Amino acid sequence: MRKLQALRHALGDAPITVTSGFRSTSCNSAVGGASSSRHLYGDAADLVSGSRTLCQLAQEARNHGFAGILGPGYPDHNDHTHVDGRPSRFWSAPNCGVASLDGGLDPLGDN
């Protein structure tokens, strides 16, 4: 929550909507989430903002301690920005200029 609040504050305190947070196994399956999704651990959020673009969310998330950032240009992430607290960094929002040094596909297969 602190990271999300810091992100919101950095974006001028504009509202950010969390469209998905913690998911049970059955909910995760129902929405087509990855079997190793960070949503199952409660440390992931899918975000949208009426006043900020998805790219602005992804770009600013780099500065607030999110190890996982998936957004526009990454498969199935053109309508939200995903942030999480996975153990190692993986950033992929290619349409926004956000990428890990190693690039490639998400090793966790997260949605």
Active-site amino acid positions: 77
For 12, other C-beta atoms within 10 Å of its C-beta total 8
Identity of the residue numbered 95: N
Residue pointed to by tokens 């992931």:
44
46, with CB counted inside 10 A (0-12, 13-18, 19+), is buried
